[in-house]
């Protein structure tokens, strides 16, 4: 319902989009945003932090819709959208750098802009046009096509350039975004740079710096990052208590083995989970939107259908797959790009919490993840540097693409 209301508001604001088309653009002005404008996270975050320490050949700003986040940040280049400066900078910018969709930064003022999409991971599940073609009726897709023909600035997958981590992603992103492969560039994901920079954690704008440094006192740091079950009646509570999660017993095992279980839920499931588990000494709820500082301190990653497996595999640390509701999930979504079992056959799978804890503390036969670098991550580090060079070539006219 909220999405429909926002879309209706944006439709009513179409005259402002038409006005933004005629506002002269500064070809060397870039605006970054992420997570529907609510969080300082994902690939644009790490690109912004890199820019703060260097002198690029362009001007840049981050724009957020979250006033509390704006007040918290200590950068003159971090702007609040609903301010005169925020609106003016957005109107004048020629380029937008995003991570999720056009609503990362206010679409009614996107007129005359080019969008550079960094996205938020290597996709395991179908995106955009690919997902619509698989899951929607022909009538629904036809109506959507007409709607976005009339209101092109509102199409959530609109992009002019896309940055990916490996050559094998170009065909997928081309199909999902309906964009020619020549406009898709293999430069790596900026957020993955932090996986190899644990010592620089204090510089990545996290409130968890002190907590993260305490993790060195544990023998094992186990991080569980489940996929949010949007569109289903399941939530993170089901993934815990429907599958043998006994917090008292698990906390005892963790304590005996000097280990900690860190749970990183989707932000909309955070409060109810904290209330349930706040009294257990070795179970911790990670409440920041950005999990990448945590990943650099993680010894064992536990996940299910999240594309984070591609990123964490670069560390060559153990990964355990916990697709507790595999049959139900596959039946509900049916939207994997790959055969899940074949692609991830080298990783151990568990189907409830007893199996998981037994694997970690009793069997002790966790298989190291196979090296995904060649297939899904062509670069190990320095992605920020490559993306900035791409942007510099773009704004200076050095990047030539034959349209």
Report the SS3 class of residue 73. coil
**Pair 86, 22 in one domain:** yes
Task: Examine residue 168 and state whether it is found in any structural domain, yes or no.
Answer: yes
**Pair 208, 184 in one domain:** no
**Pair 177, 202 in one domain:** no
Using CA atoms, how far apart are residues 262 and 324, in angstroms rounded to an integer? 18
Instruction: Provide the residue count of the chain.
Output: 403
Nearest Cα neighbor of 188 from 161, 164, 171 is 164
Q: What angle do CA 197, 203, 206 make, to 5 degrees?
A: 100
pLDDT exceeding 90 applies to what percent of the chain? 61
In the prediction, which pLDDT does 112 show? 95
**Pair 219, 323 in one domain:** yes
Output the CA torsion sign for 177, 56, 194, 273: negative
Task: Examine residue 403 and state whether it is found in any structural domain, yes or no.
Answer: no
Task: Examine residue 400 and state whether it is found in any structural domain, yes or no.
Answer: no
Task: Examine residue 219 and state whether it is found in any structural domain, yes or no.
Answer: yes
Task: Examine residue 296 and state whether it is found in any structural domain, yes or no.
Answer: yes
Task: Examine residue 57 and state whether it is found in any structural domain, yes or no.
Answer: yes
Query: What tokens were used for 334?
Result: 């049916």
Q: How far is CA 347 from CA 279, 323, 342, 390, in A?
A: 32, 12, 10, 35
Query: What mean pLDDT is reported for the chain?
Result: 89
**Pair 180, 74 in one domain:** yes
**Pair 211, 145 in one domain:** no
Domain count, the chain: 2
**Pair 11, 138 in one domain:** yes
CA 59 to chain CA centroid, Å, is: 24
Range of the domain at 285: 198-376
Task: Examine residue 16 and state whether it is found in any structural domain, yes or no.
Answer: yes
How many Cβ atoms are within 10 Å of 164's Cβ, its own excluded?
24
**Pair 372, 388 in one domain:** no
Using CA atoms, how far apart are residues 370 and 309, in angstroms rounded to an integer? 11
67-76 average pLDDT score: 91
Task: Examine residue 117 and state whether it is found in any structural domain, yes or no.
Answer: yes
pLDDT digits (tens, 9 = 90+) for 315-339: 889 999 999 988 888 777 678 898 8
pLDDT digits (tens, 9 = 90+) for 351-370: 999 999 999 988 766 665 55
pLDDT digits (tens, 9 = 90+) for 235-291: 888 889 999 999 999 999 999 999 999 999 876 677 777 777 878 999 999 988 899
**Pair 347, 209 in one domain:** yes
> Of residues 390 and 381, which shows the higher confidence score?
390
**CATH number of the domain to which 306 belongs:** 3.40.50.12580
**Pair 224, 89 in one domain:** no
DSSP codes of every residue in 285-296: E---S--HHHHT
**Pair 329, 249 in one domain:** yes
**Pair 244, 363 in one domain:** yes
**CATH number of the domain to which 106 belongs:** 3.40.50.11820
pTM confidence score: 0.92
């Amino acid at each position: 319902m909220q999405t429909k209301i926002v879309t209706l508001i944006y439709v009513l604001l179409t005259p402002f989009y038409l006005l933004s088309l005629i506002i002269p653009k500064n070809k060397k002005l870039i605006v970054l945003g992420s997570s529907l404008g609510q969080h300082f996270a994902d690939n644009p975050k790490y690109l912004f932090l890199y820019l703060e320490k260097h002198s690029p050949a362009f001007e840049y700003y981050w724009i957020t819709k979250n006033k509390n986040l704006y007040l918290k940040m200590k950068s003159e280049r971090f702007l609040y959208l609903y301010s005169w400066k925020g609106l003016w900078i957005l109107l004048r910018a020629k380029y937008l750098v995003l991570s999720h969709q056009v609503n990362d930064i206010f679409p009614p003022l996107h007129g005359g802009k080019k969008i550079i999409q960094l996205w938020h991971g290597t996709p395991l599940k179908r995106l955009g046009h690919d997902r619509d073609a698989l899951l929607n009726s022909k009538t629904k897709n036809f109506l959507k096509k007409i709607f976005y023909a009339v209101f092109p600035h509102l199409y959530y997958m609109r992009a002019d350039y896309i940055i990916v981590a490996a050559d094998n992603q170009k065909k997928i992103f081309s199909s999902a975004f309906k964009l020619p492969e020549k406009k898709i560039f293999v430069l790596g994901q900026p957020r993955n740079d932090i996986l190899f920079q644990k010592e620089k954690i204090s510089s990545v704008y996290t409130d968890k710096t002190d907590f993260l440094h305490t993790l060195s006192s544990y023998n094992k740091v186990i991080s569980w990052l489940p996929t949010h079950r949007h569109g289903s009646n399941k939530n993170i509570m089901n993934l815990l208590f429907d599958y043998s999660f006994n917090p008292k017993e698990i906390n005892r095992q963790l304590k005996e083995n000097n280990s900690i279980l860190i749970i990183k839920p989707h932000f909309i499931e955070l409060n109810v989970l904290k209330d349930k588990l706040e009294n257990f000494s070795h179970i911790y709820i990670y409440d920041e939107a950005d999990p990448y500082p945590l990943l650099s301190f993680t010894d064992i990653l536990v996940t299910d259908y999240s594309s984070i497996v591609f990123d964490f595999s670069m560390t060559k640390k153990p990964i355990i797959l916990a697709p507790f509701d595999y049959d139900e999930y596959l039946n509900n979504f049916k939207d994997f790009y790959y055969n899940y079992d074949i692609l991830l056959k080298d990783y151990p799978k568990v189907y409830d919490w007893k199996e998981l804890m037994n694997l970690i503390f009793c069997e002790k036969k966790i298989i190291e993840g196979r090296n995904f670098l060649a297939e899904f991550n062509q670069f190990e580090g320095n992605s920020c540097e490559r993306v900035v060079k791409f942007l510099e070539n773009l704004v200076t006219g050095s990047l030539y693409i034959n349209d």
